[in-house]
Protein backbone atom coordinates (compact mmCIF):
# COMPACT_ATOMS: atom_id res chain seq x y z
CA UNK A 1 0.00 0.00 0.00
CA UNK A 2 1.12 3.57 -0.63
CA UNK A 3 1.29 6.12 2.16
CA UNK A 4 -2.01 7.80 1.24
CA UNK A 5 -3.93 4.52 1.46
CA UNK A 6 -2.37 3.77 4.83
CA UNK A 7 -3.56 7.16 6.17
CA UNK A 8 -7.06 6.63 4.74
CA UNK A 9 -7.31 3.19 6.33
CA UNK A 10 -6.21 4.62 9.68
CA UNK A 11 -8.94 7.29 9.41
CA UNK A 12 -11.35 4.51 8.49
CA UNK A 13 -10.52 2.61 11.68
CA UNK A 14 -11.11 5.76 13.71
CA UNK A 15 -14.57 6.44 12.25
CA UNK A 16 -15.56 2.81 12.73
CA UNK A 17 -14.79 3.05 16.45
CA UNK A 18 -16.67 6.35 17.01
CA UNK A 19 -20.39 6.56 16.27
CA UNK A 20 -20.30 10.36 15.98
CA UNK A 21 -18.28 9.90 12.78
CA UNK A 22 -19.43 6.42 11.80
CA UNK A 23 -23.17 7.12 11.60
CA UNK A 24 -22.93 10.15 9.24
CA UNK A 25 -20.53 8.25 6.98
CA UNK A 26 -22.83 5.21 6.94
CA UNK A 27 -25.79 7.43 5.99
CA UNK A 28 -23.85 9.05 3.14
CA UNK A 29 -22.61 5.68 1.91
CA UNK A 30 -26.09 4.17 1.94
CA UNK A 31 -27.43 7.25 0.14
CA UNK A 32 -24.96 6.47 -2.64
CA UNK A 33 -25.63 2.70 -2.58
CA UNK A 34 -29.36 3.38 -3.10
CA UNK A 35 -28.70 5.93 -5.87
CA UNK A 36 -30.95 8.28 -3.93
CA UNK A 37 -29.68 11.32 -5.80
CA UNK A 38 -31.29 10.06 -9.01
CA UNK A 39 -34.53 9.36 -7.13
CA UNK A 40 -34.52 12.94 -5.84
CA UNK A 41 -34.17 14.25 -9.40
CA UNK A 42 -37.34 12.43 -10.48
CA UNK A 43 -39.25 13.67 -7.42
CA UNK A 44 -38.17 17.25 -8.20
CA UNK A 45 -39.23 16.88 -11.84
CA UNK A 46 -42.78 15.91 -10.93
CA UNK A 47 -42.80 18.36 -8.03
CA UNK A 48 -42.51 21.26 -10.46
CA UNK A 49 -45.61 19.97 -12.27
CA UNK A 50 -47.51 19.78 -8.99
CA UNK A 51 -46.64 23.15 -7.39
CA UNK A 52 -48.32 25.51 -9.85
CA UNK A 53 -51.60 23.59 -10.35
CA UNK A 54 -51.93 23.21 -6.57
CA UNK A 55 -51.53 26.96 -6.14
CA UNK A 56 -54.08 27.54 -8.90
CA UNK A 57 -56.59 25.23 -7.19
CA UNK A 58 -55.95 26.89 -3.84
CA UNK A 59 -56.46 30.39 -5.26
CA UNK A 60 -59.61 29.38 -7.15
CA UNK A 61 -61.17 27.72 -4.11
CA UNK A 62 -60.46 30.85 -2.08
CA UNK A 63 -62.15 32.87 -4.84
CA UNK A 64 -65.29 30.79 -4.40
CA UNK A 65 -65.30 30.64 -0.61
CA UNK A 66 -64.06 34.14 0.26
CA UNK A 67 -65.28 36.14 -2.71
CA UNK A 68 -66.63 38.89 -0.47
CA UNK A 69 -63.54 39.37 1.68
CA UNK A 70 -60.48 40.39 -0.39
CA UNK A 71 -58.44 41.20 2.73
CA UNK A 72 -58.87 37.69 4.15
CA UNK A 73 -58.13 36.27 0.69
CA UNK A 74 -54.81 38.12 0.62
CA UNK A 75 -53.90 37.01 4.12
CA UNK A 76 -54.63 33.35 3.31
CA UNK A 77 -52.64 33.58 0.08
CA UNK A 78 -49.66 35.07 1.93
CA UNK A 79 -49.71 32.29 4.51
CA UNK A 80 -49.98 29.54 1.90
CA UNK A 81 -47.23 30.98 -0.29
CA UNK A 82 -44.91 31.18 2.70
CA UNK A 83 -44.04 27.53 1.97
CA UNK A 84 -42.82 28.50 -1.52
CA UNK A 85 -40.25 31.26 -0.96
CA UNK A 86 -38.87 31.40 -4.51
CA UNK A 87 -42.06 31.60 -6.56
CA UNK A 88 -44.35 32.54 -3.69
CA UNK A 89 -43.02 36.08 -3.32
CA UNK A 90 -43.60 36.77 -7.02
CA UNK A 91 -47.17 35.48 -6.92
CA UNK A 92 -47.80 37.31 -3.67
CA UNK A 93 -46.71 40.65 -5.10
CA UNK A 94 -48.82 40.17 -8.22
CA UNK A 95 -51.92 38.90 -6.43
CA UNK A 96 -55.26 40.51 -7.26
CA UNK A 97 -58.67 39.88 -5.68
CA UNK A 98 -59.55 36.36 -6.75
CA UNK A 99 -62.74 35.13 -8.33
CA UNK A 100 -63.83 31.53 -8.56
CA UNK A 101 -63.51 30.13 -12.07
CA UNK A 102 -64.83 26.66 -12.96
CA UNK A 103 -62.41 26.42 -15.90
CA UNK A 104 -59.41 27.40 -13.73
CA UNK A 105 -60.53 24.91 -11.08
CA UNK A 106 -60.82 22.09 -13.64
CA UNK A 107 -57.42 22.85 -15.21
CA UNK A 108 -55.81 23.18 -11.78
CA UNK A 109 -57.27 19.90 -10.55
CA UNK A 110 -56.14 18.03 -13.67
CA UNK A 111 -52.61 19.42 -13.43
CA UNK A 112 -52.44 18.86 -9.69
CA UNK A 113 -53.58 15.25 -10.02
CA UNK A 114 -51.00 14.55 -12.72
CA UNK A 115 -48.16 16.22 -10.85
CA UNK A 116 -49.12 14.86 -7.45
CA UNK A 117 -49.50 11.33 -8.81
CA UNK A 118 -46.05 11.64 -10.38
CA UNK A 119 -44.60 12.88 -7.10
CA UNK A 120 -46.39 10.10 -5.24
CA UNK A 121 -45.08 7.35 -7.54
CA UNK A 122 -41.54 8.76 -7.54
CA UNK A 123 -41.59 9.21 -3.76
CA UNK A 124 -42.85 5.65 -3.19
CA UNK A 125 -40.14 4.32 -5.50
CA UNK A 126 -37.52 6.29 -3.59
CA UNK A 127 -38.75 5.31 -0.12
CA UNK A 128 -39.05 1.63 -1.00
CA UNK A 129 -35.51 1.78 -2.34
CA UNK A 130 -34.24 3.58 0.76
CA UNK A 131 -35.80 0.86 2.93
CA UNK A 132 -34.53 -1.84 0.49
CA UNK A 133 -37.97 -3.42 0.17
CA UNK A 134 -37.88 -6.42 -2.21
CA UNK A 135 -39.66 -5.66 -5.49
CA UNK A 136 -42.11 -8.49 -4.89
CA UNK A 137 -43.45 -6.60 -1.85
CA UNK A 138 -43.99 -3.26 -3.61
CA UNK A 139 -47.65 -2.23 -4.04
CA UNK A 140 -49.36 -3.04 -7.32
CA UNK A 141 -50.89 -0.59 -9.77
CA UNK A 142 -53.98 0.16 -7.68
CA UNK A 143 -52.07 0.28 -4.39
CA UNK A 144 -49.57 2.80 -5.76
CA UNK A 145 -52.37 5.07 -6.99
CA UNK A 146 -54.21 4.89 -3.68
CA UNK A 147 -51.06 5.87 -1.79
CA UNK A 148 -50.44 8.66 -4.29
CA UNK A 149 -53.93 10.10 -3.69
CA UNK A 150 -53.41 9.75 0.06
CA UNK A 151 -50.22 11.81 -0.15
CA UNK A 152 -52.07 14.43 -2.22
CA UNK A 153 -54.70 14.67 0.51
CA UNK A 154 -52.03 14.99 3.21
CA UNK A 155 -50.23 17.77 1.33
CA UNK A 156 -53.49 19.60 0.68
CA UNK A 157 -54.53 19.39 4.30
CA UNK A 158 -51.06 20.55 5.32
CA UNK A 159 -51.32 23.67 3.16
CA UNK A 160 -54.83 24.45 4.42
CA UNK A 161 -53.90 23.90 8.07
CA UNK A 162 -50.74 25.99 7.71
CA UNK A 163 -52.74 28.76 6.06
CA UNK A 164 -55.36 28.69 8.81
CA UNK A 165 -52.81 28.77 11.63
CA UNK A 166 -50.63 31.47 10.08
CA UNK A 167 -53.77 33.47 9.28
CA UNK A 168 -54.22 34.00 13.02
CA UNK A 169 -50.78 35.64 13.31
CA UNK A 170 -52.02 39.27 13.14
CA UNK A 171 -53.88 38.69 16.40
CA UNK A 172 -50.64 38.08 18.30
CA UNK A 173 -48.91 41.38 17.58
CA UNK A 174 -45.18 41.16 18.44
CA UNK A 175 -45.41 37.35 18.64
CA UNK A 176 -46.31 37.06 14.94
CA UNK A 177 -42.86 35.77 13.99
CA UNK A 178 -42.62 33.02 16.64
CA UNK A 179 -46.23 32.01 16.04
CA UNK A 180 -45.69 31.71 12.28
CA UNK A 181 -42.49 29.67 12.79
CA UNK A 182 -44.15 27.37 15.33
CA UNK A 183 -47.23 26.82 13.15
CA UNK A 184 -45.12 26.06 10.07
CA UNK A 185 -42.87 23.68 12.02
CA UNK A 186 -45.77 21.75 13.53
CA UNK A 187 -47.54 21.33 10.19
CA UNK A 188 -44.33 20.29 8.40
CA UNK A 189 -43.61 17.77 11.15
CA UNK A 190 -47.04 16.21 10.70
CA UNK A 191 -46.72 16.07 6.91
CA UNK A 192 -43.28 14.41 7.08
CA UNK A 193 -44.48 11.94 9.71
CA UNK A 194 -47.38 10.88 7.49
CA UNK A 195 -45.19 10.72 4.38
CA UNK A 196 -42.41 8.68 5.97
CA UNK A 197 -44.85 6.07 7.25
CA UNK A 198 -47.18 5.93 4.22
CA UNK A 199 -44.73 6.02 1.31
CA UNK A 200 -42.94 2.74 2.01
CA UNK A 201 -44.24 -0.82 1.84
CA UNK A 202 -41.96 -1.73 4.74
CA UNK A 203 -43.57 -2.10 8.15
CA UNK A 204 -42.36 0.93 10.10
CA UNK A 205 -43.41 2.34 13.43
CA UNK A 206 -43.51 5.97 14.44
CA UNK A 207 -40.39 5.52 16.58
CA UNK A 208 -38.59 4.07 13.53
CA UNK A 209 -38.99 7.32 11.59
CA UNK A 210 -39.18 9.91 14.37
CA UNK A 211 -35.55 11.05 14.20
CA UNK A 212 -35.65 11.38 10.43
CA UNK A 213 -38.92 13.32 10.61
CA UNK A 214 -37.41 15.80 13.07
CA UNK A 215 -34.32 16.22 10.88
CA UNK A 216 -36.40 16.58 7.70
CA UNK A 217 -38.53 19.25 9.37
CA UNK A 218 -35.38 21.13 10.39
CA UNK A 219 -33.99 20.80 6.84
CA UNK A 220 -37.21 22.24 5.42
CA UNK A 221 -37.26 25.22 7.78
CA UNK A 222 -33.64 26.02 6.88
CA UNK A 223 -34.45 25.62 3.19
CA UNK A 224 -37.33 28.08 3.47
CA UNK A 225 -35.05 30.60 5.18
CA UNK A 226 -32.42 30.22 2.47
CA UNK A 227 -35.12 30.69 -0.17
CA UNK A 228 -36.26 33.92 1.48
CA UNK A 229 -32.67 35.20 1.55
CA UNK A 230 -32.25 34.28 -2.12
CA UNK A 231 -35.39 36.25 -3.04
CA UNK A 232 -34.31 39.25 -0.96
CA UNK A 233 -30.75 39.56 -2.23
CA UNK A 234 -30.85 38.02 -5.72
CA UNK A 235 -34.28 38.13 -7.31
CA UNK A 236 -35.37 41.51 -5.93
CA UNK A 237 -32.17 43.14 -7.24
CA UNK A 238 -32.15 41.49 -10.66
CA UNK A 239 -33.37 43.05 -13.89
CA UNK A 240 -36.55 41.71 -15.47
CA UNK A 241 -34.84 39.27 -17.87
CA UNK A 242 -32.20 38.10 -15.40
CA UNK A 243 -34.82 38.02 -12.64
CA UNK A 244 -36.82 35.50 -14.68
CA UNK A 245 -33.80 33.22 -14.99
CA UNK A 246 -33.05 33.71 -11.30
CA UNK A 247 -36.58 32.57 -10.44
CA UNK A 248 -36.38 29.47 -12.65
CA UNK A 249 -32.90 28.45 -11.48
CA UNK A 250 -33.75 29.19 -7.85
CA UNK A 251 -36.99 27.20 -7.96
CA UNK A 252 -35.33 24.20 -9.61
CA UNK A 253 -32.51 24.24 -7.07
CA UNK A 254 -34.90 24.70 -4.17
CA UNK A 255 -37.15 21.77 -5.11
CA UNK A 256 -34.23 19.47 -5.96
CA UNK A 257 -32.37 20.29 -2.73
CA UNK A 258 -35.53 19.71 -0.72
CA UNK A 259 -36.00 16.28 -2.30
CA UNK A 260 -32.37 15.28 -1.62
CA UNK A 261 -32.49 16.43 2.00
CA UNK A 262 -35.76 14.57 2.57
CA UNK A 263 -34.30 11.32 1.25
CA UNK A 264 -31.16 11.89 3.32
CA UNK A 265 -33.34 12.14 6.43
CA UNK A 266 -35.09 8.91 5.41
CA UNK A 267 -31.71 7.19 5.06
CA UNK A 268 -30.92 8.19 8.64
CA UNK A 269 -34.01 6.29 9.77
CA UNK A 270 -32.93 3.12 7.95
CA UNK A 271 -29.34 3.23 9.19
CA UNK A 272 -30.53 3.62 12.78
CA UNK A 273 -33.32 1.04 12.48
CA UNK A 274 -31.06 -1.73 11.10
CA UNK A 275 -27.85 -0.50 12.81
CA UNK A 276 -26.02 -0.26 9.50
CA UNK A 277 -22.91 1.34 10.93
CA UNK A 278 -19.96 1.37 10.98
CA UNK A 279 -19.27 1.05 7.26
CA UNK A 280 -15.84 0.66 5.72
CA UNK A 281 -14.30 3.48 3.67
CA UNK A 282 -11.87 1.17 1.89
CA UNK A 283 -12.86 -2.38 1.09
CA UNK A 284 -11.72 -4.99 1.91
CA UNK A 285 -12.19 -5.60 4.73
CA UNK A 286 -15.98 -5.47 4.92
CA UNK A 287 -17.55 -4.74 8.27
CA UNK A 288 -20.53 -6.91 9.29
CA UNK A 289 -22.71 -3.85 8.56
CA UNK A 290 -21.27 -3.63 5.03
CA UNK A 291 -22.37 -7.21 4.46
CA UNK A 292 -25.82 -6.48 5.91
CA UNK A 293 -26.25 -3.46 3.62
CA UNK A 294 -25.13 -5.35 0.51
CA UNK A 295 -27.39 -8.27 1.42
CA UNK A 296 -30.38 -5.91 1.67
CA UNK A 297 -29.51 -4.49 -1.75
CA UNK A 298 -29.27 -7.98 -3.22
CA UNK A 299 -32.58 -9.13 -1.75
CA UNK A 300 -34.31 -6.12 -3.32
CA UNK A 301 -34.02 -8.00 -6.62
CA UNK A 302 -36.56 -10.62 -5.50
CA UNK A 303 -39.38 -9.97 -7.96
CA UNK A 304 -41.60 -13.01 -7.51
CA UNK A 305 -42.83 -14.85 -4.39
CA UNK A 306 -41.19 -17.99 -5.75
CA UNK A 307 -37.79 -16.30 -5.97
CA UNK A 308 -35.25 -16.09 -3.14
CA UNK A 309 -31.96 -14.22 -3.44
CA UNK A 310 -29.05 -15.00 -1.13
CA UNK A 311 -25.76 -13.11 -0.82
CA UNK A 312 -22.42 -14.74 0.01
CA UNK A 313 -18.97 -13.19 0.43
CA UNK A 314 -15.58 -14.66 -0.40
CA UNK A 315 -12.69 -14.85 2.02
CA UNK A 316 -11.20 -11.78 0.34
CA UNK A 317 -13.95 -9.68 1.96
CA UNK A 318 -12.31 -10.23 5.38
CA UNK A 319 -8.72 -9.50 4.37
CA UNK A 320 -7.01 -6.92 6.62
CA UNK A 321 -4.30 -5.10 4.61
CA UNK A 322 -3.11 -3.05 7.59
CA UNK A 323 -2.57 -6.18 9.67
CA UNK A 324 -0.64 -7.73 6.82
CA UNK A 325 1.48 -4.59 6.56
CA UNK A 326 2.26 -4.60 10.29
CA UNK A 327 3.05 -8.32 10.44
CA UNK A 328 6.79 -9.10 10.54
CA UNK A 329 8.25 -10.59 7.41
CA UNK A 330 8.95 -14.35 7.65
CA UNK A 331 12.62 -15.17 8.33
CA UNK A 332 14.64 -16.42 5.39
CA UNK A 333 14.99 -20.15 5.07
CA UNK A 334 18.04 -21.49 6.95
CA UNK A 335 20.86 -23.17 4.98
CA UNK A 336 23.20 -25.93 6.19
CA UNK A 337 26.80 -24.72 5.75
CA UNK A 338 28.21 -28.25 6.30
CA UNK A 339 26.79 -29.49 3.08
CA UNK A 340 29.10 -29.60 0.15
CA UNK A 341 28.36 -28.27 -3.28
CA UNK A 342 25.59 -30.01 -5.12
CA UNK A 343 26.64 -32.73 -7.44
Q: What is the pLDDT of residues 295-306, one digit of tens each?
A: 999 999 999 999
In a domain, 139, yes or no: yes
43: in domain: yes
Does 152 reside within a domain? yes
Whether residue 179 lies inside any domain: the answer is yes
Torsion-angle region of 310 (φ positive above 0: left; ψ -120 to 50: alpha; else: beta):
beta
The count of structural domains within the chain is: 1
Cα three-residue angle 240-258-299, rounded to 5 degrees = 145
312 class by beta-carbon count within 10 Å (0-12 exposed, 13-18 middle, 19+ buried): exposed
What is residue 114's predicted lDDT score, i.e. its pLDDT?
Answer: 79
Q: What are the tens digits of pLDDT across the range 142-186?
A: 888 888 778 778 877 876 777 667 666 666 666 677 877 888 899
* Residue 207 within any structural domain of the chain: yes
Please tell me the distance from the alpha carbon of residue 107 to that of residue 153, in angstroms, as a whole number.
18
Give the CA diameter of the chain. 118
Whether 295 is in a domain gets the answer: no
Per-residue pLDDT, 226: 86
HSE (CB half, 13 Å, CA atoms) of 311? Answer: 16
Q: pLDDT higher for 91 or 46?
A: 46
Model pLDDT, residue 217: 94
When pLDDT is averaged across residues 188-213 and rounded to a whole number, the result is 94
pLDDT in tens, 9-51: 889 889 999 999 999 999 999 999 999 999 999 999 888 887 7
| 95: confidence class by pLDDT, cuts 50, 70, 90 | very low
What average pLDDT score do residues 253-271 get? 94
* Structural domain contains residue 16: no
Domain interval for residue 44: 33-259
- Answer whether residue 22 is part of any domain: no
CA 286 from chain centre, in angstroms, equals 27
Torsion of CA 129, 134, 136, 141, to 10 degrees: -10
For 113, other C-beta atoms within 10 Å of its C-beta total 16
Residue closest to 93 by CA, chosen among 197, 236, 202, 196: 236
At residue 80, the pLDDT reads 54
Amino acid sequence: MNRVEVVVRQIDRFQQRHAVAGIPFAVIQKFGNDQAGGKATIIAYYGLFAIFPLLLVFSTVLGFVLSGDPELQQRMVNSALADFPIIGSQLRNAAHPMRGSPLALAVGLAGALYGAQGVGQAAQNAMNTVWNVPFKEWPGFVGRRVRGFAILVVLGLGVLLSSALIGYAPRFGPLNGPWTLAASTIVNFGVFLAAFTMLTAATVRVRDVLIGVVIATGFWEVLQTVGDVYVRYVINHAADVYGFFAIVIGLLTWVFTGARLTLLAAEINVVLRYRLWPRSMTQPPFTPQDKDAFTLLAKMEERRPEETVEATFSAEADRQPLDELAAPAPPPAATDSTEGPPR
